[in-house]
């Protein structure tokens, strides 16, 4: 992953976007602090799909709670 300053990303956005389209990933920093990651859409979607799959597997592996009839007040009790 390459690092690019926010001002350089702004000045050279077209070039940056072209490189991202070719599969590169960039970390954008402002005043030395990472503020964004720019990556190809397909790579981001793959990571999101993998996270959803892991979450679903974890939820399916947990024991189910007894199904009780909850009242509306119990659901929204703070």
pLDDT digit string, tens, across residues 3-57 = 999 999 999 999 999 999 999 999 999 999 999 999 988 766 778 888 999 999 9
Q: Can you say whether the dihedral through the CA atoms of 13, 19, 22, 25 is positive or negative? A: negative
- With beta carbons less than 8 A apart as the criterion, state whether 15 and 2 touch: no
| Domains and their CATH numbers in the chain | 1-40 (3.40.1620.10)
Q: Does pTM top 0.75 for this prediction?
A: no
Of residues 5, 1, 6, 4, the one with CA closest to residue 23: 1
């Amino acid at each position: 992953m390459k690092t690019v300053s926010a001002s350089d990303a702004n000045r050279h956005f077209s070039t940056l976007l072209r490189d991202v389209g070719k599969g590169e990933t960039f970390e954008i920093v402002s005043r030395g602090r990472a503020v964004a990651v720019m990556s190809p859409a397909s790579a981001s979607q793959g990571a999101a799909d993998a996270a959803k799959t892991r979450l679903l597997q974890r939820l399916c592996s947990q024991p189910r709670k007894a199904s009780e009839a909850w009242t509306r007040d119990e659901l929204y009790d703070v």
